[in-house]
Chain A
Amino acid sequence: MKTDISKMRNIGISAHIDSGKTTLTERILFYTKKIHKMHEVHGKDGVGATMDSMELEKERGITITSAATRVEWLDNSINIIDTPGHVDFTIEVERSLRVLDGGILVLCSVGGVQSQSITVDRQLKRHKVPTIAFINKCDRVGADPYKVRDQLDEKLGHNAVLMQIPIGLEDKFEGVIDLVAMKAVYYDGEDGEIIRTTDIPAELQPEANAKREDMLDAVSMFSDELMEAVLEERATENQIRDAARKGTISRKMIPVFMGSAYKNKGIQLLLDAAVHYLPNPAEVDNIATDLENEDREIKLEPDPDAGTVALAFKLEDGAYGQLTYIRIYQGSVKKGDELYNSRSRTNFRVGRLIRMHADSMKDIHDASSGDIVALFGIDCASGDTFVKPGLNLSMTSIYVPDPVISLSVNPEDAKSSDKMARALNRFTKEDPTFKTYVDPESKQTIIQGMGELHLDVYVERMRREYSVNVDTGKPEVAYREAISQRVDFNYTHKKQTGGAGQFGRVQGYIEPLAEGQYEFVNKIKGGNIPKEFIPSCDKGFKSSMKKGQLIGFPIIGIKAVLNDGQSHPVDSSDLAFQTAAREAFKQAYAKAKPQILEPIMKVSVEGPSEFVGNVFATINQRRGIIISSVEDGLFARVDAEVPLSEMFGYSTTLRSLTQGKAEFTMEFLKYGKVPTNISDDLKALYREKKLSN
């Protein structure tokens, strides 16, 4: 059965941890009749919310992996992609955002726009996802949805428009007034499943009138028809919704809704809003690159009969084997179809096609463009593109940052060794920011990732899901080396005694490259180095950058320019020029004032204002630079740039200094110069290590 694409929504729920996202998702599933009993995320009854499919998430009360689930509402099909909120798992968020057409930004009515909200908002903006906002926890002490709306404008630069106002707040929160229909909406029954719509209570009428006017002012900007109707006082609900939909899809406004997921209030209207205001898959432009045609960009057509293009955005290794979540952008996928993986260049056949509910699944026969489904037993990596054989398209790849931290892991016994390898193999397939290799010198297995917590989670998962206990080493920062000035080189590699000789001379210079890792420029005129050996020189330089001379970390930011050289008719070879380039680089590098760089993280700390002094002190002690602080009376946020090497154990320090009331997020910002004293220590340590080996 084909679904009408205009009645399809792919939405994600983005939020700060603890703003109640998982509870909200649970309620959505309940109201759409998918599950029959609701559970809290912290699982007082030991069951836990349905979307949190992993043990570990249940324990920490946070959602780490994204699962897609399908619900039905108002005759529409909605795929909900659960997006993780913590910044340490950014790649997961990026991947889910890639396949969304619309987002719900959940905010806490007390905490408002917090540092993580800012992070997820930036992600939504980066992927140009039309968004509606839901202000949750209106039943909490200190709830102030009006303040949160203002923060959406002030802190995030949105044009946030209240589509509802609350009826009572805190423990008197009863329901909402729908400013479009101008009705009061209450939620009766044990689980708020009975919606009671009444006239607006007299005491709230003036407030409702004023806010409706504000709303109409904002919304009528997107429709001349509505503007006229408003002037003539004959605006209909549909006119208002159409205009707000236009504004939302063009990302010029964010309609704001409110409620309390925990108290079962406001959820059904939020679902209505997702259908009313968020785009269907056909209303969003999607671009693929044509690998056959110089990577030209092609706009995909949401036509179910066109050639299939789908993106594998999520891999899960469950009890029944590997499950691959795909988003279909063009054409259809049927059971038994043959598809082509444009990355691995292999064909495969679609076996079972599945539609997922968080922890249960349903076999289906086919699915068409716009939909999100899962395949069983496909060997692939996340981010792969599947197309109809004959097409050779790739969905633009998701930006994958380089890992900034590494940790050695040793299985406690030989038996665990195999299991560990299996676990690591799976994790690296699931998460492109998680990498692993065996250090050739120490023979230890090293895992690499985006932060301490990121690696912690995988160590925990090895223990829980694969029963592998590992000893971990001290986390190590991914340093880099770079040169700070231009140096000329002129090197002759010559070995002409006995047997086949080697000869190659290279001349040129290396200089710092402001942006990018490496650039090779060939300025040789007249063929002093034969054309076929130019790539050999490039290769030689490049291979020299894998390991710097200061502390053995990769070198970045090099422009290598070749402007002259010499060859020998017999003795010159690929190998000879590679060696010449390597040796030339080695000599030039030492003279180019090389320095050690370290990852600098953008750190945001947030908590009650009273702790702001403590936070300043912790940043200062960690060689950090405070960029700014923002205080609004109760809460304070401090933004700083701090070297990653100083951030180990920061969460513990922060927790104990602030009685657990402050939290922080951090993400990689740039590589910065290491101060001389630390750089000397690092060099001494490297020499020691080399000697002992």
Chain B
Amino acid sequence: MVKSELIKRSPLRILEKSIQGGLGKGNIGILASRKGVGKTACLVHIATDKLLQNKPVIHVSYSSRVDYIINWYEDIFKEIAKKRQLESAVDVHDEIIKNRVIMNFKQDGVNTEQVLKSLTAMIEYGKFAADAIIVDGFDFTQSCSDDLDLFKNFAEKLGLEVWFSASLKGEEPLFNESGVPFLLEGCLGKLDVLITLRFEKDHVQLNLVKDPEFSSTKNLDLKLDPKTLLISEHGE
């Protein structure tokens, strides 16, 4: 399969359709689940899909080491290339990594203002025309509301999509009756898209809890394949 076909047939097109054409510039989306369910895999898949469309991505990580994140990208790319039998995969790979930057911060050492300052520096001084920002490992139990405001302003000002992961901890139940994680109830108004991931028998189900238009839970026709850790359609 050639690259353009691969982009067209990506399961992420289903996600885009379900949320009225994609997250959209200036908007914030969150993927929430317990640790180890597959948030990072989803984020990296979303980022890789952007990269394949020649859209530069900045991956902000609060927790993992850079080499660990790079490995995630390598693995996800390998799986996509294998699954879709991507033509000249090595060249495509070399091309897309030029559009990816990983920025690692310590959340207890660097506040959000500083993070956004560095991101702005990367975009302006580093001439890195980012299309989307992926934020992994941000601890929503430490802070939430104010930081999201700052990120939202930043996204609007620079015309970027921002995808977060949110790790849910503690005793069950983690979600309220509308499927919103208790942790994120307070900042629901600031989000444009909220997707939760939950284990179901043999796969991980993606649920759309909020999108820009409406806000009641619906099952996305998407799952996370436990073997490849790729987002895929049901029945695939």
Interface residues in B50-71 by Cβ distance below 8 A to A read 65-66, 70
Binds A, one of B5-13, B31-39, B123-131, B132-140: B123-131
Across the A-B interface, how many residue pairs have beta carbons closer than 8 Å?
Answer: 70
The answer to whether A616 and B104 have CB atoms under 8 Å apart is no
Mask: chain A, 624-654; 1 = CB below 8 Å from B; 0 = not: 0111111111101001000000000000000
Residue A593 interfacial (CB < 8 Å): no
Binds B, one of A263-271, A384-392, A574-582, A606-614: A606-614
Instruction: Report the minimum CB–CB distance from B160 to chain A (whole Å).
Output: 17
Interface residues in A122-138 by Cβ distance below 8 A to B read none
> Which single member of A154, A613, A614, A631 contacts B110 (CB below 8 Å)?
A631
* Residue from B65, B98, B105, B125 whose CB has the most chain A CB atoms within 10 Å: B125
The answer to whether A620 and B66 have CB atoms under 8 Å apart is no
Instruction: Report the minimum CB–CB distance from B139 to chain A (whole Å).
Output: 15
The answer to whether A616 and B121 have CB atoms under 8 Å apart is yes
Per the bound structure, the CA–CA distance linking A244 and B36 in Å amounts to: 33
Q: Which residues of A contact B103 (CB under 8 A)?
A: 628-631
The answer to whether B126 and A620 have CB atoms under 8 Å apart is yes
Residue A422 interfacial (CB < 8 Å): no
The answer to whether B118 and A631 have CB atoms under 8 Å apart is yes
Per the bound structure, the CA–CA distance linking A631 and B122 in Å amounts to: 13
- Determine the residue in chain A with the shortest Cβ distance to B64: A154
Instruction: Report the minimum CB–CB distance from A343 to chain B (whole Å).
Output: 38
Q: Which residues of A contact B109 (CB under 8 A)?
A: 631-634
> Which single member of A155, A609, A619, A625 contacts B98 (CB below 8 Å)?
A625
Residue A617 interfacial (CB < 8 Å): yes
The answer to whether B101 and A632 have CB atoms under 8 Å apart is no
Per the bound structure, the CA–CA distance linking A634 and B127 in Å amounts to: 24
Q: Which residues of A contact B121 (CB under 8 A)?
A: 612-613, 616
The answer to whether B126 and A626 have CB atoms under 8 Å apart is yes
Q: Which residues of B contact A627 (CB under 8 A)?
A: 66, 101-102
The answer to whether B122 and A629 have CB atoms under 8 Å apart is yes
> Which single member of A157, A617, A633, A639 contacts B126 (CB below 8 Å)?
A617
The answer to whether B114 and A626 have CB atoms under 8 Å apart is no
The answer to whether B104 and A629 have CB atoms under 8 Å apart is yes
- Determine the residue in chain B with the shortest Cβ distance to A634: B109
Instruction: Report the minimum CB–CB distance from B151 to chain A (whole Å).
Output: 17
The answer to whether A629 and B101 have CB atoms under 8 Å apart is yes
> Which single member of B66, B114, B126 contacts A616 (CB below 8 Å)?
B126
Instruction: Report the minimum CB–CB distance from A147 to chain B (whole Å).
Output: 10
With contacts A625-B98, A626-B128, A629-B101 taken as known, whether A154 is within 8 angstroms of B65 at the C-beta atoms is: yes
Q: Which residues of B contact A632 (CB under 8 A)?
A: 105-106, 109-110
- Determine the residue in chain B with the shortest Cβ distance to A624: B126
The answer to whether A629 and B125 have CB atoms under 8 Å apart is no
Instruction: Report the minimum CB–CB distance from A505 to chain B (whole Å).
Output: 35
With contacts A609-B114, A639-B66 taken as known, whether A631 is within 8 angstroms of B106 at the C-beta atoms is: yes
Mask: chain B, 87-103; 1 = CB below 8 Å from A; 0 = not: 00000000000100111
> Which single member of A617, A628, A639 contacts B125 (CB below 8 Å)?
A617
With contacts A155-B65, A625-B98 taken as known, whether A631 is within 8 angstroms of B125 at the C-beta atoms is: no
Q: Which residues of A contact B106 (CB under 8 A)?
A: 631-633
The answer to whether A626 and B101 have CB atoms under 8 Å apart is yes
With contacts A631-B105, A631-B118, A639-B66 taken as known, whether A620 is within 8 angstroms of B125 at the C-beta atoms is: yes
Per the bound structure, the CA–CA distance linking A613 and B123 in Å amounts to: 9
Instruction: Report the minimum CB–CB distance from A6 to chain B (whole Å).
Output: 38
Q: Which residues of B contact A639 (CB under 8 A)?
A: 66
> Interface size on B (CB < 8 Å)?
23
Per the bound structure, the CA–CA distance linking A634 and B121 in Å amounts to: 17
**Chain A interface mostly:** mixed
Q: Which residues of A contact B117 (CB under 8 A)?
A: 613
**Chain B interface mostly:** mixed
Instruction: Report the minimum CB–CB distance from A456 to chain B (whole Å).
Output: 29
Per the bound structure, the CA–CA distance linking A625 and B98 in Å amounts to: 7
* Residue from A616, A627, A632 whose CB has the most chain B CB atoms within 10 Å: A616
Per the bound structure, the CA–CA distance linking A626 and B103 in Å amounts to: 10
* Residue from A155, A613, A636 whose CB has the most chain B CB atoms within 10 Å: A613
With contacts A613-B121, A631-B104 taken as known, whether A620 is within 8 angstroms of B127 at the C-beta atoms is: yes
- Determine the residue in chain A with the shortest Cβ distance to B98: A625
Q: Which residues of B contact A634 (CB under 8 A)?
A: 109
Instruction: Report the minimum CB–CB distance from A457 to chain B (whole Å).
Output: 31
Mask: chain A, 203-240; 1 = CB below 8 Å from B; 0 = not: 00000000000000000000000000000000000000
Q: Which residues of B contact A614 (CB under 8 A)?
A: 125
Instruction: Report the minimum CB–CB distance from B98 to chain A (whole Å).
Output: 6
Per the bound structure, the CA–CA distance linking A290 and B24 in Å amounts to: 66
Interface residues in A568-625 by Cβ distance below 8 A to B read 609, 612-614, 616-617, 619-620, 625
Per the bound structure, the CA–CA distance linking A460 and B216 in Å amounts to: 73
Instruction: Report the minimum CB–CB distance from B28 to chain A (whole Å).
Output: 22
Per the bound structure, the CA–CA distance linking A631 and B103 in Å amounts to: 8
> Which single member of B66, B110, B122 contacts A633 (CB below 8 Å)?
B110
Q: Which residues of B contact A628 (CB under 8 A)?
A: 66, 70, 101-104
The answer to whether A630 and B104 have CB atoms under 8 Å apart is yes
Per the bound structure, the CA–CA distance linking A309 and B117 in Å amounts to: 59
Instruction: Report the minimum CB–CB distance from A608 to chain B (whole Å).
Output: 12
- Determine the residue in chain B with the shortest Cβ distance to A626: B101
Per the bound structure, the CA–CA distance linking A617 and B127 in Å amounts to: 8
* Residue from B109, B114, B118, B126 whose CB has the most chain A CB atoms within 10 Å: B126
Q: Which residues of B contact A625 (CB under 8 A)?
A: 98
Instruction: Report the minimum CB–CB distance from A603 to chain B (whole Å).
Output: 14
> Which single member of B65, B114, B118, B124 contacts A629 (CB below 8 Å)?
B118
Per the bound structure, the CA–CA distance linking A80 and B104 in Å amounts to: 37
Per the bound structure, the CA–CA distance linking A627 and B126 in Å amounts to: 12
Instruction: Report the minimum CB–CB distance from B44 to chain A (whole Å).
Output: 15
Q: Which residues of A contact B114 (CB under 8 A)?
A: 609, 631
Q: Which residues of B contact A629 (CB under 8 A)?
A: 101-104, 118, 122
Per the bound structure, the CA–CA distance linking A273 and B121 in Å amounts to: 45
Q: Which residues of B contact A157 (CB under 8 A)?
A: 65
Instruction: Report the minimum CB–CB distance from A232 to chain B (whole Å).
Output: 36
- Determine the residue in chain A with the shortest Cβ distance to B68: A157
Q: Which residues of A contact B122 (CB under 8 A)?
A: 616, 626, 629
Per the bound structure, the CA–CA distance linking A634 and B103 in Å amounts to: 15
Q: Which residues of A contact B115 (CB under 8 A)?
A: 631
Q: Which residues of A contact B101 (CB under 8 A)?
A: 626-629
Q: Which residues of B contact A626 (CB under 8 A)?
A: 101, 122, 126, 128
Q: Which residues of A contact B102 (CB under 8 A)?
A: 627-629
Q: List 6 A-B contacts (CB under 8 A).
A: A157-B65, A613-B124, A616-B121, A627-B66, A630-B103, A632-B109
14 additional contacts (CB under 8 A) given A629-B103, A629-B122, A631-B110: A154-B65, A613-B125, A616-B125, A616-B128, A620-B127, A626-B126, A626-B128, A628-B70, A628-B102, A628-B103, A631-B104, A631-B118, A632-B110, A633-B109
Q: Considering the complex of A and B, which 4 residue pairs feature the smallest CB-CB distances, nearest first? A: A633-B109, A613-B121, A616-B126, A617-B125
Residues of A within 8 A of B (CB): 154-155, 157, 609, 612-614, 616-617, 619-620, 625-634, 636, 639
